[in-house]
Amino acid sequence: MHKKYQIRADYDADSIVIYQAYQTAIAAPAIEQQKFVLPFSLERMTWIKPSFLWLMHRSNWGQKNGQENILAVRIKRSGWNKALALGVLTHPEPSIYVDANEWDTDFEKAHVHIQWDTERSLRGAALNCYSIQVGITRHLIQEYVDDWVLKIENITALVQKIRTLIKTGKQKNIKQLLPRERVYPIDARIGKNIMIS
């Protein structure tokens, strides 16, 4: 385990912001009703990510098909912490699982999947640290939708503005527009199971 594995996020005493990218059919009613509703699926895993720049890399700044709408979803820290506590890594990390079969058993019954991906710079370059993705399975999605979500904000216009500034080489104007992300505190007992030192 290494400090390269840290959760960095925009959070306050009670809540944390995660990011998701959706097609308009899902994003528009979610923003209007401040809740994920059909055609959002309660049967499919949903991945939530606290790193703004990682999602920008993944969605190509909202230009990928089906990922045109960037949502900043503020959820309860209690829900986020619960997800982390229930999380099982998407691979049998040797420092955690001596026996790969033990991981296989845990992963098969896990309600939350944890994946670490290379963090990205403003221009999408790979950084020497990792960003967490949390996959909430169908066993927990209803609770996520009904109990964890506090606010759903459409930040697509902000994303487009930052994208334009990058294209025109005006990066000095961007920093003040980016979310303020800092290391998120986590209980050591939970952290050791998901590679956070």
| pLDDT over 90 at 171, yes or no | no
pTM over the 0.75 mark = yes
Let me know the angle formed at the C-alpha of 112 by 74 and 188, rounded to the nearest 5 degrees: 80
Give pLDDT, residue 165: 94
SS3 65: coil
The band of 1, judged by pLDDT with boundaries at 50, 70 and 90, is: very low
Of 32-36, 70-74, 189-193, the range with the lowest mean pLDDT is 189-193
| pLDDT over 90 at 90, yes or no | yes
| pLDDT over 90 at 172, yes or no | no
On average, the pLDDT of the chain sits at: 95
**By CB neighbour count within 10 A (0-12 exposed, 13-18 middle, 19+ buried), where does 114 fall?**
buried
| pLDDT over 80 at 181, yes or no | yes
Give pLDDT, residue 144: 98
SS3 162: helix
The band of 2, judged by pLDDT with boundaries at 50, 70 and 90, is: low
Which whole number is the average pLDDT over 22-33?
Answer: 98
Q: Read off the tokens for 122.
A: 């403003």
The band of 140, judged by pLDDT with boundaries at 50, 70 and 90, is: very high
Q: Where are the domains of the chain?
A: 8-191
Of 166, 98, 89, which is closest to residue 132 (Cα–Cα)?
A: 89
